[in-house]
Amino acid sequence: MTKLIDFWASWCGPCRIMNPIIEELEGELKGRVEFSKVNVDEDQETAQKYGVLSIPTYVIENDGKEVDRLIGARGKEAFKSWLESHLAG
């Protein structure tokens, strides 16, 4: 299954803008995309493992391997289109 990892922090304005978009897409793509959130302040080790230097950062994985990443806020339709372009199978 395709997995989206959302690297964010509570103090990050663009992260707060994207949060409702991510929540909507989580409902729309249920069963097709696994959504995961990583708070970079609370889990610096995972952020470091993925080489996250800016937030928000969104990483797409297929079969446990990174296939793409996106940094920064986007509109819902652009973000959804990017995410759907990487759906497995």
Catalytic residues: 12, 15
Contacts of 28 (CB under 8 A, 6+ apart): 80
Cα-Cα-Cα-Cα dihedral of 57, 84, 86, 16, to 10°? 10
